[in-house]
Structure 1
Amino acid sequence: MPNTTPEKKLFLKERELGALLEITQAINQDHSEAALYRIFQFTLLGQLNIRRLVLYVKEDREWACMACFGTGLADFRNVELPSAITDTCTSVPCRLGEMLGLSPEWENLEVAIPVVQNGYVLAYVFTGNVHDDYAGEEATKFLQTLSNILVGAIENRRLARQRVASAAMRKEIEIAREVQTMLFPQRLPNDAAVAVHASYVPHTAVGGDYYDVVELEDNRVLLCVADVSGKGVAASLLMSNFQAGLRTLMRQQVDLATVVHELNHLIFRNAGGDKFITVFFGLYDRTTRELHYVNAGHNDPLLLLDSGAASQPLKEGTIMLGVMEELPMLNVGHLVVPPHSLLLTYTDGLTEVFDANQNEFGEEGVLRVLRQNRYAPLATVHAELLREITAFDQAGTGFADDVTILSCRFK
């Protein structure tokens, strides 16, 4: 500080102490980050009589102006921090008048004070037109210390939030995985009447696809493939409710139309119309070879006949479940399945794969692979489908969604 009387020095030290107390109290009172920056600004103005101040803080690898006050200053929220400052002013305060290449906005600021932690500059404090009684190296050091306390506290808060958020996300993924694993059936039928095989390739750690195979009394079997909107725990819990409702209804031996209506009510009540499920239900009677089915807004399953006729898409049904409290219409499809037919059900991750020219693999790609592997074991059919879409993805962007395949060979 410049030469002053002992009384003046004591007064300025009291002011510094007051500024320090205001900042530390604000930090301990758990104010928001925006409030802390405002308190910092008013403290320097009120306690230390600093007339011009600009504060830049590094957030997500970008410099952002968090505080700016003083007459004659530009709006530094729209001014990029010059590389002349960030490249040269990395440890000790710097005089802006000695730097070359600064734009006119910086003319009213005099000193750049870097706020350094662990060798990295986290912030810059710029001052200008400092009161004559509060200037010099000692005052600059105090400003640097005070800024370090503030910025360090905010940075520690961010790190703590990130740790909590990361831990919560890991736990969420772990729970969702466990829920999803429990939903998938552990055994699939392979008897004198049918052989069933399933494949599931998640796009992310926890996907939104679901499949189920439910053995029923009187020699019937239910095949189900579904895709819930969204991912994570919320999607897993909705699928869990969906499966519990489905299995409860099937044990009550209600007809397929009632199952679909009741599940739509269940999903709508639980999700309030914010989430929905596309699903295919196929109820097969081994004795009569009859297949009753409902396609609720899902990709059309493909039925290939042994006769070599064109594939038959199973379209009858309704809209996706959970969008409306009451389904506007519902048609239950019915057909008698000829011997040696093959049914392939899947989610849209199988078809929504694109090559370098943005051509979609699509249903035609699926049919081509099916015809080439018509009589291969179901595990081989699935492996070929997955191999083909991997090869089709020439751009290397990967699958856009989960891939679920559930196939049934009728003997």
Structure 2
Amino acid sequence: MNPASEPRHKILIVDDSKTIVTVINNILKKDYETCSAENGLKAVESFKKEKPDLILMDVEMPEMNGFEACKKIKALDSENNGFTPIIFITGKGDLKSMKIGLESGGQDYLAKPFEPEELLARVQAVLRTKKLYNELMNAYAIIEREQDIVASIQQSLLCKDLPKIPGFQFFADYQPSSKASGDYYDFTRIDENHLGVLVADVSGHGSPAAVIMAMMRVILRSFLSTIHSPKEVLEKINESLCDNQKAGHFITAFYGVIHLPTRKMKFASAGHNPPLLIDYDSGNTLELRTEKGFPLMIHPKNEIEEKEVVLPLNSKLICYTDGFTEARGRDQEMYGLERLKQNSLEMGRSLNAKTLGQALKNHVQAYLNGHEFTDDFTLVILQVES
């Protein structure tokens, strides 16, 4: 121990015996600052005031015993994301007492009488653990800040302003399961007569998925002026990502290009969940599936099928990622495509795109019944007015 090279740690000694406090203080005072408390209740008060690095705690004391004091101190630590190690020093050296002490939150247990060298060794070992904990928390804080930056960049890449096109209404919502995610949606006005609609889902979560999503956006935008075919766009994106990214991720994607004057939409899918096209006049619901096309980034040669459909008047196109349909309630049953289909048909008759989107979100939240989403989710709705 070299007190000149680092600040002296403060140790709180808790014991109702002044003699024991004096003995421990004499062992520690060369290398550590010390303070003391005479029972568990005073220990909690001293912990708040002195903010010690380590606590040496007796068990059998008046007003509040050491086990109870340990629980209260650990609760206060938890509120502040702190870690104050506690070593029990007591004459109760039986296995049951040791178990109770460790279960109450203690880090170590030393029976009286003890040798000064053993006490110093235990103190040094526990303080090393505290140092490692602090270093880990600092590392987490750095990662947290970096994730905040990535999340901010990702939010800036998402479509901020929904299209304003006569005869159409739009809704889009995105919820990451962590600060950043691999879900992505975009509306791109290719030219005066064409609108592109993209929904994609990068496997995994967090910053790596978000970076791949950003790459996909850049590649997509670079092709829009020269390629209008959804099939060709997805195939080009796949080739480019396979050439430049070896992270072991994959992307499912749906891309549709709508000819606005005729409402004809060409679309292609790379293994993505089938969007729903609901015709409210007829009551028909069409799942927009394709036969060819597996997720992107699996193999550079990915032959993708392209289809065409007319978006009827008084219809809605509902695109989503699997985090929405795979949300699980308390019974672990998934929300599912059929539930989404039924609710979109029933509620969508009287609701516009924006209010339907919010209603579907509220419905799946109620289905979760207090559980959290375990995956990113995106919901995009395009409404063709009657």
Give the counterpart of 1:383 among 355, 358, 368.
Answer: 358
Counterparts in 2 of 1:254 and 1:376: CA distance versus 1, 3 Å: closer
The corresponding residue for 2:197 is 223
Identity of aligned residues (%): 24
The corresponding residue for 2:236 is 262
Q: Which amino acid aligns with 2:357?
A: H
Secondary structure of the 2:233 match is helix
1:367 aligned to 2:350? no
Asked if the contact 1:213/1:224 (under 8 Å) is kept, the reply is: yes
Q: Which amino acid aligns with 1:197?
A: F
CA distance in 1: counterparts of 2:324 and 2:281, whole angstroms: 26
Q: Which amino acid aligns with 1:347?
A: T
Deviation at 1:301, TM superposition (A): 0.1
Per-residue CA deviations over 1:73-121 (Å, capped at 9, x if unaligned) read xxxxxxxxxx9xx97x955586xxx95568xxxxxxxxxxx9xxxxx96
Q: Which amino acid aligns with 1:200?
A: Y
The corresponding residue for 2:222 is 248
The corresponding residue for 1:407 is 381
Deviation at 1:273, TM superposition (A): 5.5
Asked if the contact 1:369/1:384 (under 8 Å) is kept, the reply is: no
**Which segment drifts farther, 372-381 or 212-221?**
372-381
The corresponding residue for 2:118 is 143
CA distance in 1: counterparts of 2:173 and 2:95, whole angstroms: 62
**Which segment drifts farther, 189-198 or 373-382?**
189-198
Per-residue CA deviations over 1:121-155 (Å, capped at 9, x if unaligned) read 644579xxxxxxxxx97xx2133224433442343
Counterparts in 2 of 1:167 and 1:291: CA distance versus 1, 3 Å: same
The corresponding residue for 2:294 is 319
Structure 1, unmatched stretches of 5+, are 1-19, 28-82, 103-113, 115-119, 127-135
Deviation at 1:281, TM superposition (A): 0.2
CA distance in 2: counterparts of 1:378 and 1:222, whole angstroms: 18
Counterparts in 2 of 1:308 and 1:100: CA distance versus 1, 3 Å: same
- List structure 1 segments (4+ residues) > 4 angstroms apart after TM superposition: 89-94, 98-102
Give the counterpart of 2:140 among 139, 144, 166.
Answer: 166
Deviation at 1:260, TM superposition (A): 1.0
The corresponding residue for 1:33 is none
Counterparts in 2 of 1:90 and 1:160: CA distance versus 1, 3 Å: closer
CA distance in 2: counterparts of 1:391 and 1:368, whole angstroms: 16
Secondary structure of the 2:145 match is helix
**Which segment drifts farther, 220-229 or 248-257?**
248-257
1:276 aligned to 2:282? no
Asked if the contact 1:273/1:322 (under 8 Å) is kept, the reply is: no
**Which segment drifts farther, 297-306 or 198-207?**
198-207
Count residues in correspondence: 303
The corresponding residue for 2:264 is 290
Structure 2, unmatched stretches of 5+, are 7-58, 60-65, 68-85
CA distance in 2: counterparts of 1:189 and 1:382, whole angstroms: 16
The corresponding residue for 2:62 is none
**Which segment drifts farther, 374-383 or 347-356?**
347-356
CA distance in 2: counterparts of 1:312 and 1:141, whole angstroms: 79
Deviation at 1:239, TM superposition (A): 0.7
The corresponding residue for 1:186 is 160
1:152 aligned to 2:116? no
Asked if the contact 2:189/2:195 (under 8 Å) is kept, the reply is: yes
Deviation at 1:388, TM superposition (A): 1.3
Written as runs of structure 1 = structure 2, the 5 A alignment for 1:114-153 is 122-123=107-108, 140-153=115-128
CA distance in 1: counterparts of 2:177 and 2:241, whole angstroms: 24
Secondary structure of the 1:318 match is coil
Counterparts in 2 of 1:262 and 1:147: CA distance versus 1, 3 Å: same
Written as runs of structure 1 = structure 2, the 5 A alignment for 1:16-31 is none
Secondary structure of the 1:321 match is coil
The corresponding residue for 1:353 is 327
Secondary structure of the 2:170 match is strand
Deviation at 1:264, TM superposition (A): 0.9
CA distance in 1: counterparts of 2:244 and 2:354, whole angstroms: 36
Q: TM-score, normalised by structure 1?
A: 0.65
Secondary structure of the 2:224 match is helix
CA distance in 1: counterparts of 2:147 and 2:210, whole angstroms: 10
- Kindly report the root-mean-square deviation, in angstroms, between the aligned alpha carbons of the 2 structures: 3.4
Counterparts in 2 of 1:203 and 1:153: CA distance versus 1, 3 Å: closer
Q: TM-score, normalised by structure 2?
A: 0.69
Secondary structure of the 1:280 match is strand
Counterparts in 2 of 1:369 and 1:254: CA distance versus 1, 3 Å: closer
Counterparts in 2 of 1:93 and 1:213: CA distance versus 1, 3 Å: same
CA distance in 2: counterparts of 1:326 and 1:166, whole angstroms: 40
Deviation at 1:274, TM superposition (A): 0.6
